Structure 1
Amino acid sequence: MRNFIVRHQAPFLLMVLLGLIAATTFITTDDSLKVTLTEMFIRVIVVVGLYVFIGNSGIISFGQIGFMCIGAYAAAWATADPSFKQIMLSGLPTFLQDNQYPFLLATAGALVLPAVVALCLGIAIMRLNGTAASIATFAFLIIVNSVYSNWDSVTAGVSSIIGIPTVVGPWTAYVFAALAILVAYLFQISRFGLMLRASRDDEVAAHASAVKILRMRLAAFVLSAALVGVGGGLYAQFLGILTVDPFYLDLSFITIAMLVVGGMFSLTGAVSGVVAVTAVVELLRLLERGVTIGGTELALPQGSQEIGLGLVMALILIFRPTGLSRGRELAIVPARQAEAIPSPDALPLPGAPGNATR
């Protein structure tokens, strides 16, 4: 048991660190901090979802936020007030129009619908490589944004869906973030994750080793879409109001920036990138509002958040091209030392055959 925990310490350490961050809600009554932490945990889910595909396959996808949009609207359709849906969302099927479903069922819908769309889309896109695949995923994001902005009878178009119960807080978001980390890690250490990373590092050698590259990429793409969709579902049930505008370029770029800053080739990088970028953005936001030092109020000009984030990304790419994590997983006990720890079952018993001194 000890060996198992030491060898797989990264996800447990990440969960503990995020749990300590969530615990700060017990020592403060500041509602803005709770809002910030909830958004951060939701973004952890989304960026971990990005890592599952981008980090393991090496293909940059600009379209994953499209799955977040699909998941958010799936949750909104399930939980919004039926009286609103019957008037504004008349194109929905009757079982959605006339009913209001519980949180877990709505979140399950936010997982399943993006996964089904990703399965259908991925069969075509996963045959592409490199830039072609990235452009195809970006085209998917544009299509989702256009469809959801104009399908008035189902998505309310550019209007807002209201009446969504706000049941997601810091601890709910944390629990789902911990589950996302666990799922991503299990995929990472599975044979599917291993074969996918083999194709990322050397596609020719992977083909020669009978790796089904299309199948591995498709599995990661669907799992990534499911996790990102859950993040969207939680986001809708956190805000209580939903429009299509947030799920486009700004959110796409900031989530990819979080992955790059932390390090796109490790789960630790995905989580640390979210925490680091959130801290930088919140600090710059505070400075934009102004701080008083010695009776003098100092304030940064508007737009400093974007400039600061750009500078952080540039510095990371210059001095640490592999991100804050350098592509490594968080560990208290180094991996080599963990391998050297003997299992209690493997220790020889006194007087057992083979223990005699020669």
Structure 2
Amino acid sequence: MSNFLQSVRGALILGVAVGVIGVLALLFAEPFYQRIVFIFMVNLIAVIGLQVFMGNADITNYGHISFMGIAAYAVAILATPAAIKKTSLATAPFGLGTIEVALPIAILIALALTVLIAFLVGTMLVRQSGTPASIATLALLVIVHVVIMNWVDLTRGPRAIYGIPVKATLGMATICAILAIVAARLFRDSSWGLQLRAASENIAAASAMGVRIKRLRLVAWVVSAAICGVAGILFALFVGTISPKSFYFDLTFLTLAMLVVGGAYSVSGAVLGSIVVTFGFEIMRYLENGPQIVGLKLPTMFGLTGIFLGAIIVLCMILRPRGLVGDDEIDEIWRRRSKNRERSEISANASGAAQ
């Protein structure tokens, strides 16, 4: 019970930090900056979903964004008003072009479909380890993208789906981000998470101890997909239009960079990495346009965001290979430092008394 309470306390500390960002944006930010914070929340949820599998199973995952795409397209196809679908999806199969599903039901169906596909793919993927497993996740990303691009009757192919109900708000995204943090932290500190991380360090020893590695990987994979699915649904219901390029390599490598920079082995790393990369990205976008700073007109420098992303990953790999946070959560680091400080004070007092 004490471990559970510590996990909840640590998750709430991160949740409060994320909640403060959302509340400040809601109260004081202009709509443009609220939009930036909303996208940050969506990316954060996706990064947390990635951390659940990649950080616990220690398998680099390139396919998490495909589940964002599946959930986003599912809710878009189901919830878009039938009047709009008569022109945009007139030839959709299964009668989807003529029906309109209530938004709450559409969200549940989209999540259920995402989880089902994740389970079916996961039963095959969890049999692999290391590089083969990573390549399999990359193949998943490409396959989902190709299906979306070529199933024109259902997805409009390379053209965007429009008319999606714009119902998501920054408050909703903030709440979902906090819930994702709590879920990821509880999974990380659960017996399943502990066994999965132990198995990633020594598969043979874990198997000999009776750890069911494939089952644990499958659970982490499905939970990861569900969290990423939530991110995809929020994105679709906020932007109101989606296209295949929204869920492909650009977003894949951006979210991977966020996790790598913060630290893949902790939920705190996912949160911190998302904040650092998002903040840096916005600064680079500002500098790209050649602003005037202190009377000095800077030249336009297009591509600066790409350079920033590559540079921060390289620097992190050189200076902090395990990420800014490392393997521990922020509350664990704070608790350990507090104990070390107490020991130092006790030792100093003891030495003073002896003298």
Structure 2 residue aligned with 1:232? 232
After alignment, is 299-308 or 262-271 more displaced?
299-308
Aligned pairs for 1:23-62 (under 5 A) are 23-62=23-62
**Once the 2 structures are TM-superposed, how far is the Cα of residue 6 of structure 1 from its aligned partner?**
4.7
Give the drift of 1:171.
1.2
- Residue 92 (structure 2) pairs with residue 91 (structure 1): yes
Q: Does the CA-based 8 Å contact 1:158-1:243 persist in structure 2? A: yes
- The answer on whether the counterparts of 1:126 and 1:217 sit within 8 Å (CA) in structure 2 is yes
Secondary structure class of the residue paired with 1:167:
coil
Please name the residue that 1:356 is paired with.
Answer: none
State the alpha-carbon separation in 2 of the partners of residues 202 and 211 from structure 1.
11
Deviation at 1:5, TM superposition (A): 4.7
Query: Under a length normalisation based on structure 1, what TM-score does the superposition of the two structures give?
Result: 0.89
Superposition pairs for residues 113-192 of structure 1, below 5 Å? Answer: 113-192=113-192
Question: What is the CA distance between 1:249 and its match in structure 2?
Answer: 0.9
Contact 2:42 2:231 in 1 (8 A): yes
User: What pairs with 1:294-309 in structure 2 (closer than 5 Å)?
Assistant: 294-309=294-309
Deviation at 1:27, TM superposition (A): 4.3
State the partner residue of 1:9: 9
Instruction: Give the CA deviation at 1:190.
Output: 1.8
Q: Is the 8 A contact 1:107 1:234 kept in 2?
A: no
TM-score normalised by structure 2 residue count: 0.90
Say if 1:268 and 1:329, in contact at 8 Å, map to a contact too.
yes
SS at match of 2:330: coil
Match of 2:351 in 1: none
Show the counterpart of 2:349.
Answer: none
Cα deviation, residue 81, structure 1: 1.7
The answer to whether the aligner puts 1:268 opposite 2:292 as a matched pair is no
Amino acid of the structure 1 residue aligned with 2:102: Y
Matched, 1:293 2:293: yes
Question: 2:284 & 2:337 partners in 1: Cα distance?
Answer: 40
Residue type of the alignment partner of 1:101: A
| Residue 101 (structure 1) aligns with | 102
- Contact kept? 2:161, 2:242, Cα under 8 Å: yes
1:243 maps to which residue? 243
Q: Deviations over 1:176-228 (max 9, x none)?
A: 11111111112112221111111111111110111111111111111111111
Specify the alignment match of 2:335 in structure 1. Answer: 334
**1:63/1:7 CA distance change after superposition, 3 Å:** closer
**What CA distance in whole angstroms lies between the structure 2 residues aligned with 1:322 and 1:19?**
26
Aligned-partner Cα distance in 1 for 2:6–2:138: 40
Distance 2:235 2:26 in 1: 22
Tell me if the contact between 2:78 and 2:99 (Cα under 8 Å) persists in the aligned partners.
no
Structure 1 residues 192 and 7, CA gap change in structure 2 (3 angstroms): closer
Query: Which shifted more, 327-336 or 48-57?
Result: 327-336
Q: Does the 8 A contact of 2:7 with 2:189 survive in 1? A: no
Query: Aligned Cα RMSD in Å?
Result: 2.0
Is 1:283 matched with 2:283?
yes
Letter in 1 for 2:94: P
Kindly tell me: are residues 224 and 80 of structure 1, through their superposed partners in 2, closer, same or farther at Cα, counting changes over 3 Å? same
Take 1:138 and 1:145, find their aligned partners in 2: how far apart are those partners?
Answer: 11
- Report the Cα distance in structure 2 between the residues aligned to 1:300 and 1:211, rounded to whole angstroms: 55
SS in structure 1 at match of 2:147: helix
Alpha carbons 2:258, 2:277 under 8 Å: kept: yes
Structure 1, unmatched stretches of 5+, are 339-358
Q: Work out the CA distance in 1 between the residues paired with 2:219 and 2:314.
A: 32
**2-side partners of 1:171 and 1:201: how far apart?**
39
CA distance in 1, matches of 2:271, 2:85: 36
Q: CA deviation at 1:7?
A: 5.6
Match of 1:64 in 2: 64
Cα deviation for residue 88 of structure 1 reads 3.1
Does the Cα contact within 8 Å between 1:263 and 1:327 map onto a contact in 2? yes
Structure 1 stretch 45-54 or stretch 184-193: which is displaced more?
184-193
Alpha carbons 1:82, 1:100 under 8 Å: kept:
no
> Which has the larger helix fraction?
2
Is the alpha carbon distance of 1:43 and 1:300 closer, same or farther for their aligned partners in structure 2, counting shifts above 3 Å?
A: same
User: Per the alignment, in what secondary structure is the counterpart of residue 178 of structure 1?
Assistant: helix
CA distance in 1, matches of 2:336, 2:5: 12
Shift of 1:78: 2.1
Q: Which consecutive residues of structure 2, in runs of 5 or more, have no partner in the other structure?
A: 340-355
Bigger mean CA deviation after superposition, 155-164 or 285-294: 285-294
